Copies of this chain bind each other. A is one copy, B any other.
Amino acid sequence: MTTDQRIAGIELGGTKVVCGIANGDGEVLERTSIATRGPEETLGDTRAWLEPRLGNASGLGIASFGPIHVDPASPRYGRIGATPKTAWQGFDLLRALRDWTELPMALDTDVNAAALAEIRWGAARGHQNVVYVTVGTGIGGGIVSNGRPVHGLMHPEIGHMKPRRLPEDDFDGTCPFHGDCFEGLAAGPAIAARWGKPLNELPADHPAFAMEADYLGQLAVNLLLTASPTKLIFGGGVMNCTELLPMIREAAARHLNGYLDLGDLSTGSGELIVTPGLESNAGLLGAVALVIDAS
């Protein structure tokens, strides 16, 4: 891989598609952003921008919202699964893209891809066991173990675990499948529905912050106790409220209650739970990292 190489990437998100061209050093050369609607309109606009730029590219990476079938051995490889975004349910994303180009393609979830990009170029350089959480219109997470993204029956869908409810919180939750799972209680739409405003329009001493930090702290604990990451990255729109990160660390430490002996490890909790190094390019560069890892 060199700085001369051109790799195309598509991050298909619930709100927007980010697509672009990067080089093999993870430098974004060109990018654009397209509103996510139904598959036809969204991919029509994406193709119009991307197709003329594919001539010099060596591959196309796709980092998609989930659930999506990511096992190349599955007959459903590249298809979107059961999602609240009904227009996309069952859509064969990979087949659609193969109509555009014969470039080699690599596919994973947006969050698995972002974790790989953060390892290669961002906040988790040199780490092999990393979790990347996004807290935005939903809550998703990618897990990399021993340097490789975690797949299996499907892929991680960490936002649908359930936290212990706070006694003062009687909100029903917004998840159509589970009501008050982490996503249903702590993603952007849940915050807006519970408090009438997004977090960034509430004052820093508003109880919404402590509640959000407690739920995300519980999520951090579940991830530390399963994936055992040495870097746990929290990104996504809600994390733009910079007050949250230290509050999440504190809540995670409170819930762990000394169990993992973090103080004695070289990665103390301050270094362990961090925000992304690549910011809004994490998904796009994740798509690019997938191509590099596959080649």
Q: B-contacting residues of A (Cβ < 8 Å)? A: 67, 81-82, 128-129, 141, 143, 145-146, 148, 150-158, 160-162, 164-165, 177-178, 218, 221-230, 255-262, 265, 267, 272
Contact = CB atoms under 8 A, between A and B. Distances in A.
A110 to B, nearest CB: 16
B224 A223 contact: no
Contact of A164 (B148, B162, B227, B258): B162
Nearest to A182: B225
Nearest to A146: B148
Contacts of A151: 129, 146, 228
Contact of A223 (B178, B223, B226, B260): B226
Contacts of A160: 225, 256, 259
The A interface is mostly helix, strand or loop, or mixed, namely: loop
A157 B261 contact: no
19 contacts: A67-B261, A81-B261, A82-B258, A82-B260, A129-B150, A129-B152, A145-B145, A145-B148, A152-B227, A153-B230, A153-B267, A154-B260, A156-B228, A158-B226, A161-B226, A177-B256, A178-B255, A226-B227, A227-B227
Contact of A226 (B67, B226, B260): B226
A14 B153 CA distance: 32
A106 to B, nearest CB: 16
Contact of A177 (B218, B223, B259): B259
Given A81-B261, A222-B222, A226-B227, A145 B156 contact: no
A225 B157 CA distance: 5
Copies of the chain in the assembly = 2
A148 B177 CA distance: 32
A262 B82 CA distance: 11
Residue picked from A143, A153, A154, most chain B C-beta under 10 Å: A153
A180 B191 CA distance: 28
Contact of A230 (B152, B158, B267): B152
A267 B82 CA distance: 17
Nearest to A151: B228
A227 B150 contact: yes
Contacts of A227: 143, 150, 152, 156, 226-227
A204 to B, nearest CB: 28
A201 B241 CA distance: 53
Contacts of A158: 225-226
Contacts of A150: 129, 145-146, 226-228
Contact of A156 (B148, B161, B225): B225
Given A152-B230, A160-B259, A161-B222, 15 more contacts: A82-B258, A82-B261, A128-B152, A129-B153, A145-B150, A146-B148, A153-B224, A153-B228, A153-B229, A153-B265, A153-B267, A154-B260, A160-B256, A177-B259, A226-B226
